[in-house]
Amino acid sequence: MTSFAQIQRTVACGLAAATMLYGACAQASISLSATRVIVQEKKQEASISVRNSATPVLVQAWLESNTANATDDLPFAVTPPLAKVAAPGQQLMRVLYAGNSGLPRDRESVMWLNVQEIPQSTGGKNQLQIAVRQRIKVFFRPTAIVGVVADAPGSLRWSVAQDAGRPALKITNPSMYHISFAYLGIAGGKELPTPEMIAPGETRMLSADDLERNSKIAFKLINDFGGVDAYEVQLSGDSAESPAAVKTD
């Protein structure tokens, strides 16, 4: 039996290919009401609005795994998967949880919501109309998860280590939530490679040649509302682990 996710992927490929048949450029006319979607298991769904400020467009939405080349269907669906949005106008899209999934019960899972705009043909010749796609994270939080998301930044573990003989910053996320970085650097100094997102239980080693054992680290994290919160943590010299980070704004 063909699954809902397979149908969505088939439609996605067909529409993307169709846009190549149009022969100038189209700018994105749609915007999303949020930069991330949080699905609580007890609520079974979450929603996001697609706003259109230009000309009428066809909007397609689908979900995909955060794991490269994943073949398993996700226990979620987006409705409507395809909608015409007037201008000016908006369309409410819902991410629905089907339940009985193989997702972890003790930690947060993440996937991606794709929202693609297919502009209408203007009827002119020699015009290329481009399907513009926006992609945001969807987080699923089971009811059995331990801890609260607000405590996750302070639970990060920081230490100085060696990676292939060079100084490195070691970051471990012991929480049950994904932590998304917007910035990472030595306070008042050099910016460090940003890990983007650290999964629950994951450890990252980041190369940091200018790092000293007593350096103060400044970092910014993206919260549930898409805002950015700033933190600092003081590395603890030769100790294996530094104290909890503190919020600075």
Model confidence pLDDT, tens digit, residues 29-51: 899 999 999 999 999 999 999 99
- Where does a domain end: 87, 119, 141? 141
Higher pLDDT, 111 or 242: 111
**Whole-number Å distance between alpha carbons of 41 and 186:** 38
Task: Please tell me whether residues 192 and 121 are part of one structural domain.
Answer: no
| Percent of the chain at pLDDT exceeding 70 | 82
Domain count, the chain: 2
Task: Please tell me whether residues 133 and 158 are part of one structural domain.
Answer: no
Min mean pLDDT across 38-52, 115-129, 164-178 is at: 115-129
- Where does a domain end: 123, 141, 159? 141
Question: Residue 114 is part of which domain span?
Answer: 4-141
Which is nearest to 118 in space by CA: 40, 20, 192, 206? 20
Q: Is the peptide bond before 104 cis (omega within 30 degrees of 0)?
A: no
Model confidence pLDDT, tens digit, residues 192-241: 999 999 999 999 999 988 888 889 999 999 999 999 999 999 998 655 56
CATH number at residue 123: 2.60.40.10
Q: How far apart are the first and last CA of the chain?
A: 52
Task: Please tell me whether residues 19 and 109 are part of one structural domain.
Answer: yes
Tell me, what's the pLDDT at 18? Answer: 39
Task: Please tell me whether residues 8 and 131 are part of one structural domain.
Answer: yes
Tell me, what's the pLDDT at 55? Answer: 85
